[in-house]
Structure 1
Amino acid sequence: MSKIYIYKGFNRFWHWTQAALIFFLTVTGFEVHDSIHLFGYEKAVYFHRIASYAFLVLIAFAIFWHVTTGEWKQYIPNVSKLSAQIKYYTSGIFKKEPHPTKKTQVSKLNPLQAFTYLGFKLVLVPMMVISGLLYMFHKTVDGNNEIVIRDISLGSIANWHSFGAFLLVAFVIVHIYMTTTGHTYTSNLKAMITGYEELDDEKVADDEKNKAE
């Protein structure tokens, strides 16, 4: 096994900051819906709004980083190996079969991860951002409270935002579970903290070959 620097500094910062903001937005969002009681309704609304702005700033930096570094290519799934990856996670992993794809510095995500994260970035996050902004600015901030978005009811916007929130919670739960499927239960977690991951020497050799090509 060789230790390879897989996750760069901003990659780790973005990952953990995004995780913290999603957790905080979930907690305050559930309190706004009166599902839990922690900060109080008014503070929960205020904190949820501030965290949502922070999330938008983080998204802007993440988009810039992905585009300028070429990391966006990580999310292009290899469709030819997608079925093999699904089969591995649904049955092969429980039979201790070998992983159908190799994780390298050049290719960090397997086909199913790439497909899932692509959907997260292109569908789920935009759904939450757009519905959240529509909800916040459904009325003007002056004393008149005039409805500025008349074609879409506030109730339908709230339903879409809540639906997206439940999908987001489900995604996080599955994501946490998937971190335990490395060569040890904590190897993936350690890699996202330190940036270094232990890879088979064969994988490292393949990675160096891909770089040379």
Structure 2
Amino acid sequence: MSERRVELYPLWLRLWHWLNALLFLLLLGSGLALHFPDALAGILGFNDARVIHNTCGVALSGHYLIFVVATFLGGNRRHYLPRWRGLPGRIGRQTRFYAVGIFRGEPHPFPATVACKFNPLQQLTYIGVMFGLLPAVIVTGLLFLFPEYAPERIGGMGGLWPVAVAHYLVGLALTIFLVGHLYLATAGETLLGEVRKMIRGSTLSEESRS
């Protein structure tokens, strides 16, 4: 047996992560300018906000497709799949760590490993975000951009109105996730340790047969 180093955050994923963050921030800022044009008129005009929002929305759609293809063709997908047996207990341990243990300096109950870099709560959250909320905001956004493809009526209402509400609510949920994501990014061994991993990468040892 020999030891090899395994990169938990390969270069493609780190580049994807930071570009995705940039696109989301641009979409968030331009979306706020579209919803509150009078309040933000001095910062970003309505027409400019619309161009930025539409352009970044289309870019995010293609960018997400790259993530899906790379995740399912590569080994990244295994990190998102939780072990269902005993999952409630592991979620309880992780929740207690975030609520109490992290402030007492207790060791992380589920440190990153080669087999899985996410803890149980991260797995469930990222499944919901990456394969639920993100495609939902993309689909509703594209229906807004190309209304001819939207249903004429949904639940007895004009098709675009429910699409608009869904797009707003999903965007709000993603914004809440972003706030939590930024907070937990500071919850590593050091204040910016997790951020450095997404910039420089992070490797762990794995035994391999020679």
TM-score (norm 1): 0.84
Q: Name the % identity.
A: 29
Q: How many residues matched?
A: 194
Tell me the equivalent position of 2:93: 84
Aligned pairs for 1:1-213 (under 5 A) are 5-34=7-36, 36-37=40-41, 38-78=43-83, 79=87, 80-139=89-148, 149-152=151-154, 153=158, 154-196=160-202, 204=204, 208-209=206-207
**Which runs of structure 1 show a deviation greater than 4 angstroms over 4 or more consecutive aligned residues?**
none
* Higher mean C-alpha deviation, range 175-184 or range 70-79: 70-79
Distance 1:166 1:151 in 2: 24
**Which digits, 9 at most, give the CA deviation of each residue in 1:9-54, with x for residues without a partner?**
1010010011000000011111111253333111211111110111
Matched-pair contact (CA < 8 Å) for 2:6–2:206: no
Give the RMSD, CA atoms, in angstroms.
Answer: 2.0
Greater relative contact order structure (CA < 8 Å, 6+ sep): 2
Tell me the CA shift for residue 149 of structure 1. Answer: 2.9
TM-score normalised according to structure 2 size? 0.85
Retained in 2: the 8 A contact 1:77–1:112? Answer: no
Q: For the residues of structure 2 that align with 1:122 and 1:31, how far apart are their CA atoms?
A: 27
